[in-house]
Amino acid sequence: MKFADLTDLFERISTTTKRLEIRALLAEHLKGVSEQDMAPMVYLLQGQLRPEYEGVELGVADSLARKALASASGASEEKVRAEASRSGDLGTTAEALLRSQGKAGGGAPLALLDVYRELKEIAQASGEGSQETKIDRLSKLLLKASPTEAKYLVRFTLGKLRLGVKEMTVLDALAVVYGGEEPRKARTVIEGAFNVTSDLGEVASTLARTGDLEALARLRAKVGKPIRPMLGEREASLKDVLERMEGRAALEYKYDGLRLQAHIPSAEGAPVRLFSRRLEDVSAQFPEIVRELPGALTVRPAIVEGECVPVDPTTGELRPFQEISRRRGRKYDLERFEEEVPVRFFVFDVLLAGEEQVLSLPYPERRERLERIVKLGDRVQLATREVVDQVPEAERFFQQALTDGCEGVMAKSLAEGSSYRAGARGFWWIKYKREYTHELADTLDAVVVGAFWGRGKRAGRYGALLVSVYDAQEETFPTLCKVGTGFDDATLESLTKQLRDKQVESRPEEVLSTLTPDVWIRPTLVLELRGAELTLSPIHRAALGRVREGYGLALHFPRFTGRVREDKGAEQASTTEEVVRLYQTQVRRAAEETSSEGTELKDTPPQRPAEPPPKGPF
Ligand code: ATP
């Protein structure tokens, strides 16, 4: 396959923002892709070289790409710089320069695989002389490219492929190509395989090789490849939790720390890897867990999941979550932090034990397996749990969890179908946290999409932020509220600095907003917010039309809790689905409170009665 086939596709995609059209264009394109081209194609489509969890960074510095372009086009570096600052995109400048100077694209067409290999070499060059190597390789590649190809090559190498295709759209397109008469069913199977491997390239090339959806069912969880985490729903009371779980559930402590998925290989001395909730490799940050895990398990290879929590080394008591953030992202002084912020790993699930794919077993069997394979030690412990079938028992366990420094409980279904649902949020797990009277039952994680400059003593920094939730269906970020409370001056200062290079001139396409902030910000940073309630809003776009035509939902009296969700990417922020569900819970609660007071609804709330969420895990 030619590299130009990919860039032609990008050109066509750039003429539309409609997801269905993009999917159709993509499906048409993927039909013709061979097995060997498929994985590179799928990575490049997303502006990547490897699955995201491998952390292979394509990006080279702007200055380096400018040098390569100057050398390939024959223009001076000053000219390249001036043109790029005019166009705002070095890719566009590359295309224009090469076109006007008639320099490029003379020879044989570039093959997709060759370009892919070359981009990998450029990305991986390191050490002494690597900058020159990168410039040299990139400029040679640009010399062979057509102007349009050059545009994308430059964007790839800068890590700024503006129109990378979202993974959900690639999954949709694969379902169209390989789903025959039943693309919906195929979509579920394909997404299932992706959730277990986290590698779209592997999923797509398996399909290209076999043409058979069944082959995906044979893709296995493997040590070294993170599994997308199973997620829980919420309920407003322990009574509701037990009802939902058909009267009986396991309650586990809900530890307030950092979720880690630990991969322990079978070979002695092979490295243990720890992945965060967003599948980043964070092994280097917790050397003591890495050291202790192999000895703490009786079976290998293994994949276990748990929460890493700061503890007081003398009393063993749990410490506030915030302390752990001092260790995140750290490259130096790790030993000092190992001592200053000691952590303990509370394991709550097992997904692979020896050769057995435990994730398809029901939860009670997984837990039993977990208890059998974990040898308790100083750093590795089992999550405390109890099986309950009465509300008072559940209440007592919940209170005990709070007393022991946890933020609540996770209820886990004991039903036959309670397998580990990678990447899915459902009622097989229900989180229940401490209730805050007169407040929304839970926090929301919102993405910053814009900012308003502060006044008075906040002048020169952001005074308030515009934040959104994620609409996973539409792949958009509709706004939820404007928030200016809960930030101290130092935090605002540091957020202003941190977000400076995420500022963009106009509203990012995926952000839906009727408000225009002073600056728009590319959605990346996730903040935890608390608020009084969710209300219908003619201004905010979250869940637009879901409760009432023409209205979105907004968070009323929002405030920042002080927690930046570094473990979440924009697409792991709270979703419109969650907001709708929280809204429904709130309406139901208000109705229950009113009826228990024996009065009529004082003010008819401005909404249609909400449908209660479906019963029974699904
Ligand atoms: P979610 O993970 O549902 O998107 P979140 O990341 O905001 O939400 P919470 O609302 O705090 O997290 O609840 C789920 C998280 O609770 C899990 O992702 C995990 O990190 C943590 N957790 C703590 N203890 C347990 C446990 N025993 N079982 C499962 N998860 C637990």
- Is residue 148 a part of any domain in this protein? no
pLDDT at position 264 is 97
pLDDT in tens, 358-387: 999 999 999 999 999 999 988 999 999 999
Within a domain: 130: no
Q: Give the CATH number of the domain where residue 557 resides.
A: 2.40.50.140
Give the mean pLDDT of 339-355.
Answer: 93
What is the residue with the minimal CA distance to atom 26 of ligand 1? 254
> Given the structure tokens 């003429």, which residue do they identify?
15
Q: Domain boundary at 419, 437, 455, which?
A: 437
Q: Which are the catalytic amino acids?
A: 254
Residue bearing the CA closest to ligand 1, atom 11: 256
pLDDT of residue 615: 40
Q: How confident is residue 313, by pLDDT bands cut at 50, 70 and 90?
A: confident
Same domain membership, residue 465 and residue 407: no
Tell me: do 387 and 244 sit in the same domain: yes
One domain, residues 427 and 463: no
Confidence of residue 20 (pLDDT cuts 50, 70, 90): confident
Spell out which residues line ligand 1, taking CB within 6 angstroms: 231-232, 252-255, 259, 277, 307, 348, 383, 410, 431, 445
Residue where one domain finishes, among candidates 437, 464, 496? 437
**Does residue 568 share a domain with residue 541?**
yes
Residue 284 Cα to ligand 1 midpoint, Å, equals 22
Q: Which atom of ligand 1 is nearest to the CA of 568?
A: 6
Paired tokens of 546:
């879901």
Residue with tokens 């920094």: 461
The stretch 193-202 carries a mean pLDDT of 95
Average pLDDT over every residue of 433-448:
77
Total domains present in the chain: 2
Question: Which atom from ligand 1 is nearest to the alpha carbon of 254?
Answer: 24
Does 430 lie in the same domain as 341? yes
In ligand 1, which atom is closest to the CA atom of 231?
Answer: 3
Asked if 341 and 478 sit in the same domain, the reply is no
The reply to whether 378 falls in a domain is: yes
Element (H, E) at 336: helix 334-340
> pLDDT of 543-580, one tens digit each?
999 998 889 999 988 899 999 998 999 999 999 999 99
pLDDT at 106 over 80: no
Is residue 376 assigned to a domain? yes
Q: Which atom of ligand 1 is nearest to the CA of 412?
A: 28
Residues 465, 367 share a domain: no
Give 495 Cα–ligand 1 centroid separation in angstroms.
Answer: 25
Q: Where do the H-state alpha helices sit in 32-182?
A: 35-45, 62-73, 77-87, 90-101, 112-124, 130-144, 147-158, 167-178
What domain range includes position 399? 231-437
CA–centroid distance, 113 to ligand 1, in Å, is 41
Q: For residue 409, tell me if it sits in a domain.
A: yes
Q: Which of 307, 382, 564 to mutate to test the pocket of ligand 1 (most atoms within 8 A of CB)?
A: 307
pLDDT for 440 beyond 80: no
Q: What is the pLDDT of residue 614?
A: 37
- Measure 385 CA to ligand 1 centroid, in angstroms: 15
Query: Which residue's CA lies nearest to atom 10 of ligand 1?
Result: 431
The alpha carbon of 176 and the centre of ligand 1 are apart by a number of angstroms equal to 34
| Residues 189, 195, 198, 199, Cα dihedral to 10° | 0
